[in-house]
Structure 1
């Protein structure tokens, strides 16, 4: 039996070590879980073992919930929780002293603390207002000494939780931004190449609708990128990690997000026009196909020369497309004008993208921590 327990413990330790050394969500979850447990253990060691406080449970109980996903969120949650705990504790103590009856005090205090806890500025921490009141009323701890200890131990647990999260591998959320940054160009290039290959073949309404659905998902990915950007920016607020590490890994520039907001919108608009078009001149598919293929080539990973060549080919293809508008042999339709305008906008933003990529291709030293 002892051998079996030893084997199980060794297996668990190996799994934890793999999660900690790996990158990705597993590592983040494992590290934050261990930090949470460690914060509670430190809080108990100080309040229960060293200080021998009469209400030592409150310190580790508070620390458990303040190792949050970002340092900023830990600080904000600590402030919110301490305010609602103070309010709930004082309301309960006042109600208990005045009414001298636990049930009557609950009937008066709990509605007030629940309403206070639902105030939006307290967020998820508002729940602790009625919880703190319940602890006071159930145990009838109305004395000033008891109230002081409750507040001191709550403050101790909050301080430990925030410090552990800020000083022990403080969380920084840049991986999702970087993943979306590399995924968006690939997905856009794949779709543009597929549309370029498909429009010269047999026209199929179902296939065009499928392209349009994928273009909509690209715009959804940009919205996800904006959300990831906000999460990344928050993780850097009040985060001392840049002073505790030798180098700083900064998230990609937010200007990149704006460019991709426009690029994906132009791709969606182009495919929507193809989907809505009833008639197009016969020469348009043969002109539009190399234009979209070159647009996809700009987004494919490659050298600056490859991107410049693809941009030149796209520019030449766009001139041929606009020439159709001025050619009296072809009927000018709203769909043709919309295609010319959408692809011109796409060309302009791909030029911006290519210029930004050329700058990034120049090796840059990593910033040293101050």
Structure 2
């Protein structure tokens, strides 16, 4: 008798592999679609920001259009007005030399011009010696690639080798060809630098202000996050990991601020006086003392989160403060975080009162006194708890004194 069963047949091994392959392809397509969607949203946000008002996005649009205009102008001068059928070199150099600052345009113009001259001369000399294009390539390209590593050429040294390739590929070698290419490179360099310097010269002052305000805002966010964790979950390893990650992001923002300050200094070189009058300059950047102040704030916050992380580690000797002390400390950090957000708005020119109110000062003094009393209680429980609470209190005082200097307190 045949046994009848209603169980579904099991899929074969080949069928399972096919289903898994289909599933993997579907996941891959979903990831690609999601990535494209995110890129489209990012492009849309950048376009809206550029249309909305001054900012980094609009600066990029202006710089890109200036580079295109420099290339077009070099082509018109070389091809149309001078009648040169090979005006590519001038357009190429002009396009590349519209840099983020006028100073960098001049420096790179000198470096690139030197590299192009070296490439043209060596390629022509190699062709004259070897008598063949292949031999000239074999002789000149290795030398030019070694020369590209010379620090005097910066990152423009590779243009010597590319110029040699272009020269040998077109067969235009010899004294007249060398002079022709050098002249085209000089024409493109002059046009590129002139366009960058005379048409809306780039002055990077806004980036300093934005990065400084973002640093203050993110410092306040981190202090609020630490306060919320201390109020809800007290000290544990998971919260400590989150604090350490946020502190690392704060360090990266500080590095971005230092980079923006460097670009700001460089953008003001060679753009003073009449050149700056060619455009409405942005608001002056905050003084460099602000960078140093918020660098100290970042250092104190990093030390604060590190102390909390050590106290949360069960394998370490220091013990975290008890519940009432952590809750009082959380309220203290929250007040300091509020002041950091106020400083962020001040740096962006949002207006409003820039110093803490009387109630905030009174709350700070009250919490400080409460924590001092709790510190005396912890000292009676042992050195481990008192050490951690005393260190945390000192670091909070450091952050407060740097965030609101004494001369700006009521």
TM interval, shorter chain, is 0.7 to 0.9
- Tell me what 1:128 maps to: 159
- Tell me what 1:270 maps to: 304
Residue 339 of structure 2 aligns to a residue whose secondary structure is helix
C-alpha distance in 2 between matches for 1:279 and 1:96:
77
Match of 2:258 among 210, 213, 226: 226
Q: CA shift at 1:265, angstroms?
A: 2.4
| 8 Å contact from structure 2 (residues 78, 84) kept in 1 | yes
C-alpha distance in 1 between matches for 2:336 and 2:365:
10
Q: CA shift at 1:243, angstroms?
A: 3.2
- Tell me what 1:303 maps to: 353
- Tell me what 1:191 maps to: 222
CA gap 1:211/1:127 in 2 versus in 1, 3 angstroms: same
Equivalence map 1:83-162=2 (5 Å): 83-162=114-193
Runs of at least 5 residues in structure 1 that lack an aligned partner in the other structure: 1-14, 360-370
C-alpha distance in 1 between matches for 2:97 and 2:81:
22
Runs of at least 5 residues in structure 2 that lack an aligned partner in the other structure: 1-45, 312-318, 343-351
Q: CA shift at 1:74, angstroms?
A: 1.1
| 8 Å contact from structure 2 (residues 300, 398) kept in 1 | no
Residue 63 of structure 2 aligns to a residue whose secondary structure is helix
CA gap 1:23/1:317 in 2 versus in 1, 3 angstroms: same
Q: CA shift at 1:104, angstroms?
A: 1.6
Cα RMSD (Å):
3.1
- Tell me what 2:90 maps to: 59
Q: CA shift at 1:91, angstroms?
A: 1.2
| 8 Å contact from structure 2 (residues 102, 197) kept in 1 | yes
Question: Which one has a bigger Cα radius of gyration?
Answer: 2
Match of 1:256 among 273, 277, 290: 290
Q: CA shift at 1:47, angstroms?
A: 1.4
Residue 239 (str. 1) matches residue 271 (str. 2): yes
**Which range is displaced more, 187-196 or 148-157?**
187-196
Match of 1:215 among 231, 244, 247: 247
- Tell me what 1:289 maps to: 330
CA gap 1:218/1:343 in 2 versus in 1, 3 angstroms: farther
C-alpha distance in 1 between matches for 2:288 and 2:155:
29
C-alpha distance in 2 between matches for 1:264 and 1:34:
38
Residue 41 (str. 1) matches residue 72 (str. 2): yes
| 8 Å contact from structure 2 (residues 200, 279) kept in 1 | no
Residue 330 (str. 1) matches residue 380 (str. 2): yes
- Tell me what 1:344 maps to: 394
Match of 1:74 among 94, 105, 118: 105
Q: CA shift at 1:165, angstroms?
A: 0.8
Q: CA shift at 1:344, angstroms?
A: 2.5
Residue 199 of structure 1 aligns to a residue whose secondary structure is helix
Q: Deviations over 1:221-252 (max 9, x none)?
A: 21222222222322222235423245553222
C-alpha distance in 1 between matches for 2:66 and 2:281:
23
Residue 156 of structure 2 aligns to a residue whose secondary structure is helix
Q: Deviations over 1:82-118 (max 9, x none)?
A: 0011111111122222232222222111110111123
C-alpha distance in 2 between matches for 1:291 and 1:158:
58
C-alpha distance in 1 between matches for 2:47 and 2:373:
64
C-alpha distance in 2 between matches for 1:44 and 1:233:
33
Match of 1:280 among 292, 316, 321: 321
- Tell me what 2:197 maps to: 166
State how many pairs are aligned: 345
C-alpha distance in 1 between matches for 2:200 and 2:216:
32
| 8 Å contact from structure 1 (residues 177, 228) kept in 2 | yes
Residue 353 (str. 1) matches residue 397 (str. 2): no
Residue 214 of structure 2 aligns to a residue whose secondary structure is helix
C-alpha distance in 2 between matches for 1:17 and 1:194:
31
The ranges of structure 1 where at least 4 consecutive aligned residues each deviate by more than 6 angstroms after the TM superposition are 15-18
CA gap 1:343/1:159 in 2 versus in 1, 3 angstroms: farther
| 8 Å contact from structure 2 (residues 378, 386) kept in 1 | no
CA gap 1:155/1:331 in 2 versus in 1, 3 angstroms: same
C-alpha distance in 2 between matches for 1:71 and 1:25:
17
Residue 125 of structure 1 aligns to a residue whose secondary structure is coil
